[in-house]
Structure 1
Amino acid sequence: MVVLKKIIDFYINSSLHVALSAFALVSMAHYFFNIDGGLSIVFFAFFGTVVGYNFVKYDALARLNKNQIKKELKGIVLLSFLSSIACFYFFLQLCWVTQISAFVFLGLTLLYTLPFFPNKQNARNWKGVKIYIVGITWVGVTVILPLVEAEIPFSMDVLLMAMQRFLLVFSIVLVFDIVDVKHDDLHLQTVPQKIGVKLTKKLGYLLLFLLLILEFFYTNNHHFLLFFFKLLVCGTIAIFLFFAHENRSRYYASFWLESVPILWWLLLILTGFKNLSGL
């Protein structure tokens, strides 16, 4: 059990789990728009997420448990280095428009992490900004980049998918913010810090409801099973919201909640349906 726990901890701390969620969400964008192939952008998103998240998390992880980090750090650094090579390789396979778009979202990641002005905090510490930067970045990586790479023209369906993905990520981040409300710096002004846990949960339910409402505005591939799958995903996240509180273990959000996109993607594959995913 001790060995298994160490493996799971490394899997989470090295950002492999969140990267697999990104992999799943990009793949589902391909499902909805019936894009065949496109493996370069899928793996670029996977390895880019590993590198990006590890880059962002190092400082926070070091403060949480220095002894644990000393043991894991070499493995995480090696994994991040190999992932950066793989990310660069798949980046070179992308078209130039996708490459330029990727630099935009790379800039957001750097803005989120590094202070660009002397004696100023990074965007991660700007009051109330974090959740929006995270949402926009995830929309960019898991919706905009794959559709740009596949040369899918802008349409109402593209806009709806981007809006739904933002609402999905926003509601997931709300769960993280509730679980971390005691540990987050008050200066961050996260949603639970500003309006309280109860109102944050109600906001999350509202966002998930709006996500489902947007489903009825799609102009293509509307199917009952599509709505059912999204209802299942939103219902699962709503359950996580309902039971979220500040004393939950780190696995509650970092492992189980982030497994939702992965399980949803696997469900789509196992059912054998194409074009049933718009989130």
Structure 2
Amino acid sequence: MKVLKQLLDFYLNCSIHTALLCYAMVQITFHVFHIQYDESMALFAFFGTIVGYNFVKYDALVRVKKYPVGSPLKFIALLSLVSFILVGYYFFQLKRITQIVSFGILALTALYTLPFFPNRRNARNWAGVKIYIVAICWVGATLVLPLINAEIPFSSDFFIKCIQRFILFFVMILVFEIIDLAKDDPYLQTVPQKIGVKRTKILGLLLLIPFCLLEFLISTFNYSDLFINIIMVIILCLFIIFANTSRSKYYTYVWVESVPIFWWLMIVFQSNF
């Protein structure tokens, strides 16, 4: 049992689960906009997530706090290096415009991590800003880049899906902020810090209403996708309702992050039957 827990922790610490979430959301974008599977785009997003998230998590730990680099961090660094090489490989298979936009997302991620301005904290520590930057980065990586690379014009469907995707990630991050409330720096001004846990839960639940209603405005609307979306929303609602500061990290890092993966698997199952 201890070995399984260590393997799970390593799997999570390497950001592989988060990368699967990103891969699943890219696949959902392919499905919604009827884009043929693009291996380069999907794997660029997958390996890019590993590189980006590991950089965000461990840069300050090693560079600023001088945390000793033991075996686990060495393995994570090796995985990140291999992922970085693969990101470079798939990057050069993308369209030029996709490459340019991906640099914009990379710049936003770097702003989130590194203190570019003298005597200022990085964007991750700017009061009240973190949740918006993270949600925007996720929308860019899982929706904007795949559509640009597939040369799909920006129609009303695109903007509706951008709003939906932003709401989804915003609500998922709210669950993280509820769980992390006790250990988050008060300076961060997270949503639960500003309005309390109960109101944060209400906000998350209310935001999922327009998420569902916007589905009716999509030109490719069909009841099968709506039904799957509703199941996904119900699951996410349950995670919001039962979130509290005493929950372990697995509540968010395993189960909440699994919601989009489960969403994608439902689509795959529905498409094959």
TM-score by length of 2: 0.96
Hey, what does 2:104 align to over in structure 1?
Answer: 104
Hey, what does 1:228 align to over in structure 2?
Answer: 227
Hey, what does 1:171 align to over in structure 2?
Answer: 171
Deviation sequence 1:30-49 (CA, Å, 0-9, x none): 01111113110100000000
Gaps of at least 5 residues in structure 2 are none
- 2:246 paired with 1:247: yes
Count of equivalent residues = 271
Change (3 A) 1:257 1:56: same
Please identify runs of 4+ aligned residues in structure 1 that moved more than 3 A.
59-64
The secondary structure found in structure 1 opposite 2:36 is: coil
Change (3 A) 1:60 1:185: farther
| 1:71 CA drift (Å) | 3.6
Hey, what does 1:259 align to over in structure 2?
Answer: 258
After TM superposition, list the pairs within 5 Å mapping 1:80-229 onto structure 2: 80-220=80-220, 222-229=221-228
- Answer yes or no: is the 8 Å Cα contact 2:225–2:267 preserved in 1: no
| 1:216 CA drift (Å) | 1.1
Q: Which has the higher contact order (CA 8 A, sep 6+)?
A: 1
Gaps of at least 5 residues in structure 1 are 275-279
The Cα RMSD (Å) is 1.7
Higher mean C-alpha displacement, 34-43 vs 139-148: 34-43
Deviation sequence 1:187-227 (CA, Å, 0-9, x none): 0000000000000000000111110011111122x111111
| 1:61 CA drift (Å) | 6.2
CA distance in 2, matches of 1:59, 1:81: 14
CA distance in 1, matches of 2:217, 2:232: 19
- 2:22 paired with 1:22: yes
| 1:59 CA drift (Å) | 5.0
Question: Which letter does structure 2 place at the counterpart of 1:116?
Answer: F
CA distance in 2, matches of 1:120, 1:273: 52
TM-score by length of 1: 0.94
| 1:273 CA drift (Å) | 5.5
Deviation sequence 1:122-178 (CA, Å, 0-9, x none): 000001000000010000000000000000001011111111000000000000000
CA distance in 1, matches of 2:253, 2:59: 17
CA distance in 2, matches of 1:70, 1:233: 39
Change (3 A) 1:60 1:250: farther
Question: Which letter does structure 2 place at the counterpart of 1:32?
Answer: V
